[in-house]
Chain A
Amino acid sequence: MTSDYLKIEKLTCGYNKGFKLKGVSFSLKQGALAGIIGPNGSGKTTLFKGISGHLNIISGNIHLHNININNLKLKQKAKKIAVVSQFPDAADLTVEDYVIMGRLPYRETFQFFESRKDVLIARKYMRLTGIYEHRKKHLSQLSGGEQQLASIAQALTQEPDLLLMDEPTSHLDITHQVQILNLIQRLNKEMNLTVLMIIHDLNLAAEYCEYLIMMKQGAIHTKGTPKEVLTYDKIEQVYNTVVVTQNNPLSDKPAVFLVSENILKEIQRKYGYIQR
């Protein structure tokens, strides 16, 4: 027995004739709130799909609570891992009908209707995510932020141990970004839910994630706490972009600033090098 909850060893997965991961290993403790960062094409989504089971594993292992997830059936896996996609589902369904689909992994073959228990669980998580009052509305009538909350409610209704999220806030304004991430942080703390999310915004990643995995060209470049990972030299190596890092005066977490080309040229001309 190890204390590692999610343990990924030398994982290789990818597309037949295209991009493949180059043996990724990391592990998370139960109740971790971790983020995957890295530039476009670095393998974040491939890693994500490898863990969620959408891409076949070529080599390596993924253990969840000492169980190799390759040995799990789809239904069993769906009871342990829930996935929230980048773009919320916008089907012609009411919020309630959509959220209760999270009970599908628990259905019997000939069970055509949800049980009372299913309904109660779905309602519990609609309340928790704050979309209970919208439950009769259609998904298309919700704002982007509310749709994302509905996806999270559906994922929670699966009662998973591990929540995977693919850029849950990338198309939202800052109000909703913070609202969603605060919710995830609260769920993580109160329910001891292990969360692994792809996140593009380095400042949000630093502020909310306890553990970061920074990827470059299909492999992990650096992993560790935000302070260890988000240093200007490492970011510049991975993203090929000049940045300045400072600590957020309130949270003491690293904050990353970008600098425009004009300013950089001016500084180069004045000093001959970039002073941080």
Chain B
Amino acid sequence: MNNKYISWILFTLLLLLLLIAAALLSLTMGEASISLTDLVTLLKEKESMEYFILTQIRLPRIILAFSVGGALSLAGAILQGIFRNPLVEPYTLGISGGAALGVAISIVFGLQTSIGIFMLPVAGFTGAIITILTVGILGFLRGGTDINKMLLIGVMISFVASSAMMFLMSITTSDNLHGIIFWIMGSLDEPNKTLIQITLYSAIAGLLISYIFARPLNALILGQEKAAYLGINSKTTIRLLFIAASLLTGICVSVAGVIGFVGLVIPHLIRLITGSDYRFLLIGSFLGGGLFLILSDIVARSIISPNELPIGVITGIAGGILFIIVLNQNKNKKKHDI
């Protein structure tokens, strides 16, 4: 077997081991301190308080962290591939801006009190979908796939949405203002199990669907024209993947708010380690993103314990610094393009 495949398998196993370790660590961390050795015995005592904390609070949170991190990072890898631009991340296309605006509208106009706790995710998802449709329809108009145009439209929608949101924030009450800001900063504190399940299944479905297009994505590295000469239907590939990545992002933003940097940094790090073959990059980004967000959550929960920091603070600072360090160490090695 090819050396490349062996190193891929080893790296995947390493990521899986790290994921399990991070999950176990995360289970033991928190206000009620539970040691690793007690974990097994506690899980047998189904009546205990600790059992409730582990299975009803900490485990769902870990699953959500894994799903959101994996999905955002996967979406980032896909978008960087179809746009052939290393600076694209899920939020560049205005999806988070649209979702945030949806949430802001629902908070300011008090919609959540009338419809209930599902309102914020629904509002966020609606905002995200409207943004995706706008970018998609304008970008795909007249049968084209001018990806640079789509990128610019996304960036502009992002600006429009954030300005509209600032307008809402400037005219509303301070209670609402707090609610909006809290949501924007991102949080993995999601009590609803159905939403967590939806996120997990969507993330896995996203990975499976995008994996079918792993080899076409590799060909798109060479450009749409060349990919067509290799028998790849570039337009269909780009459109399907764009929709998949957008939906993943929309779901993540609706459930967990805006968690920046995962979708930009993790695909990059994986690319630096394994190269830009999407057959690995997609899986690596998914696992790496999940791992990164579980670790970030541990830090966010423990650094000013018993209070917790917004997770976006940790992903931004840790992701940015980690990225600069790795990039600097790698500068003497081979150059990496998309």
B221 touches A91 (CB 8 A): yes
- Do A158 and B230 touch across chains, with their CB atoms under 8 A apart? yes
- Check if B219 sits within 8 Å of A101, measured CB to CB: yes
Residue in contact with A104 in the complex, picked from B212, B230, B279, B337, CB distance below 8 Å: B230
Roughly how many angstroms separate A92 CA and B276 CA in the complex, as a whole number? 7
Most buried by A among B222, B225, B279: B222
Is B232 located at the chain interface by the 8 A CB criterion? yes
What residue in chain A is nearest B2 (Cβ atoms)? A119
Contact A138–B334 (Cβ < 8 Å): yes
Q: Do A104 and B277 have beta carbons less than 8 Å apart?
A: no
| Bound CA–CA A112/B219 (angstroms) | 13
Contact B233 A74 (CB under 8 A): yes
Query: Is B191 an interface residue when CB atoms closer than 8 A count as contact?
Result: no
Segment at the B interface, from A4-12, A79-87, A194-202: A79-87
Q: How far is the CA of A43 from the CA of B83 in the complex (A)?
A: 30
Q: Closest chain B residue to A119 by CB distance?
A: B2
Per-residue interface assignment for chain A, residues 49 to 61, with 1 indicating a CB less than 8 Å from any chain B CB and 0 otherwise: 0001110000000
CB pair B232 A104 closer than 8 Å = yes
B231 and A75 contacting across the interface, CB-CB below 8 Å: yes
Q: Are A104 and B221 in contact (CB under 8 A)?
A: no
Are B226 and A89 closer than 8 Å at their CB atoms? yes
Interface contact A85-B226, CB-CB below 8 Å:
yes
Which residues on A sit within 8 Å (CB–CB) of B222? 89, 91, 101
- 132-162 of chain A: CB within 8 A of chain B: 138, 140-141, 158
Determine if B167 is an interface residue (Cβ-Cβ < 8 Å): no
Q: Are A101 and B218 in contact (CB under 8 A)?
A: yes
The contact of A74 among B215, B231, B276, by CB within 8 Å, is B231
Among residues of A, the one whose C-beta sits closest to the C-beta of B234 is A74
Q: Closest approach, in angstroms, between the C-beta of B208 and any C-beta of chain A? A: 11
Considering only residues 87-116 of chain A, those with a C-beta below 8 Å from chain B are: 89-93, 97, 101-102, 104-105, 107, 109-113
Docked complex Cα distance between A13 and B335 (Å):
40
Residue B211 CB within 8 A of the other chain: yes
Task: Please indicate the chain B residues that have their CB under 8 angstroms from the CB of A104 in the complex.
Answer: 215-216, 219, 230-232
How far apart are B278's CB and chain A's nearest CB, in angstroms? 10
Partner of A112, one of B215, B229, B233, B276: B215
Q: How far is the CA of A92 from the CA of B281 in the complex (A)?
A: 13
B230 contacts A92, C-beta separation under 8 Å: no
Contact of B275 with A by CB under 8 A: yes
- In the bound complex, residues from chain A placing their C-beta under 8 Å from that of B212 are 109-110
* B279 and A113 contacting across the interface, CB-CB below 8 Å: yes
Nearest chain B residue, comparing its CB with the CB of A154:
B230
- Return A46 CB to nearest CB of chain B, in Å: 14
Q: Judge whether B214 is part of the interface by a CB distance below 8 angstroms.
A: yes
> Do the beta carbons of A93 and B211 come within 8 Å of each other?
no
A77 interface residue (CB < 8 Å to B): yes
Residue on A with the closest CB to B335? A140
With contacts A75-B231, A83-B229, A138-B334 known, is A92 near B219, CB below 8 A? no
A138 to B276 CA separation, bound complex (whole angstroms): 12
Q: Is B228 in contact with chain A by the CB < 8 A criterion?
A: yes
Tell me which residues across on chain A come within 8 A of B231, comparing CB atoms.
74-79, 104-105
**Which B-chain residue is minimally distant from A137 (CB atoms)?**
B334
CA distance A81 to B228 in the complex (A): 11
Scan residues 210-266 of chain B and give those whose CB is less than 8 A from a CB of chain A: 211-212, 214-216, 218-219, 221-223, 225-226, 228-233
Alpha-carbon distance between A52 and B218 when the two chains are bound, in angstroms: 21
Is B338 on the interface with A (CB-CB < 8 A)? Answer: yes
> How far apart are the CA atoms of A79 and B231 in the complex, in Å?
8
Which residues of B sit under 8 angstroms from A158, Cβ to Cβ?
Answer: 230
The answer to whether A74 touches B228 (Cβ under 8 A) is: yes
Q: Which residues of A contact B338 (CB under 8 A)?
A: 91-92
Chain B residues with Cβ under 8 A from A102's Cβ?
230
Judge whether B218 and A92 touch: CB under 8 Å. Answer: no
Q: How far is the CA of A101 from the CA of B221 in the complex (A)?
A: 11
Given A107-B215, A112-B211, A138-B334, residue A78 in contact with residue B230 (CB < 8 A) = yes
A54, A81, A92, A105: residue with the most chain B Cβ atoms closer than 10 Å: A92
Min distance, Cβ B235 to any Cβ of chain A, angstroms? 10
Question: A92–B279 contact, CB under 8 A?
Answer: no
Given contact pairs A109-B212, A113-B279, A140-B335, A78 touches B229 in the complex (Cβ within 8 A): yes
CB distance from B333 to the nearest CB of A (A): 11
B337 adjacent to A91 (CB under 8 Å): yes
Separation of A90 and B230 alpha carbons in the complex (Å):
16
- Shortest Cβ distance from residue A16 to the other chain B in the assembled complex, whole angstroms: 10
**Min distance, Cβ B57 to any Cβ of chain A, angstroms:** 38
Within the complex, what minimum Cβ distance (angstroms) separates A8 from chain B? 18
- Could you tell me which residues of chain B, from 74 to 128, have a CB within 8 Å of some CB in chain A? none
Q: Is B193 an interface residue (CB 8 A)?
A: no
A97 touches B277 (CB 8 A): yes
With a CB–CB cut-off of 8 A, which chain A residues contact B334?
A: 92, 138, 140-141
Task: Kindly provide the distance from the CB of B334 to the nearest chain A CB, expressed in whole angstroms.
Answer: 6
> CB-nearest residue of chain B relative to A92?
B337
User: B228, A105: Cβ atoms under 8 Å?
Assistant: no
Which residues of chain A come closer than 8 Å to B219, judged between CB atoms? 101, 104
**Do A92 and B229 have beta carbons less than 8 Å apart?**
no
Interface membership of B178, Cβ < 8 A = no
By a CB distance below 8 angstroms, the chain B residues around A105 are: 230-231
21 CB contacts below 8 A, A to B, read A52-B229, A53-B228, A54-B229, A74-B231, A74-B233, A75-B231, A78-B230, A85-B225, A89-B222, A89-B226, A91-B222, A91-B337, A92-B334, A93-B275, A101-B222, A101-B230, A104-B215, A104-B230, A110-B212, A112-B214, A141-B334
